[in-house]
Amino acid sequence: MEIKNVNYEEIPIEKLRWKCDLSKLNIKTTNDLKPSKKILGQERALKAIKLGLEMEYLGYNLFVTGKAGTGRSTTIKMLLEGRKREGVEFDDKCYVNNFKN
């Protein structure tokens, strides 16, 4: 295989990563930001979960999977609380196969 010389332009290290300009957000640090109450970037998952929660027939279940710390429990709790405020009563069971994973 022939090795070809490639012309390249060196990129300064400060241009390798984008950094948010906090002065445009009217805050001093990110600690001044309030946490979002919305689930961001998971439209398809939210749509599927909401569909599952709206099923009124026996024999339907929700199965939620994902890595630890990705907001699975938070998302489900938030959506269930919303349904509870709508007056929906729950009589569900949760089965856990493996408490370590």
Place of tokens 């009589």: 91
Per-residue pLDDT of 53-73, as tens digits, reads 888 888 888 888 888 888 888
In total, the chain counts a number of residues equal to: 101
Per-residue pLDDT of 19-40, as tens digits, reads 878 788 888 887 888 888 788 8
pTM: 0.53
Using only C-alpha atoms, the chain has a radius of gyration, in whole angstroms, of 23
pLDDT attached to residue 1: 72
Q: How far apart are CA 32 and CA 34, in angstroms?
A: 7
> Residue 48: which pLDDT band, with cuts at 50, 70 and 90?
very high
Name, in order, each residue with C-beta under 8 angstroms of 70's C-beta and a sequence gap of 6 or more: none
> Residue 92: which pLDDT band, with cuts at 50, 70 and 90?
low
Name, in order, each residue with C-beta under 8 angstroms of 30's C-beta and a sequence gap of 6 or more: 22
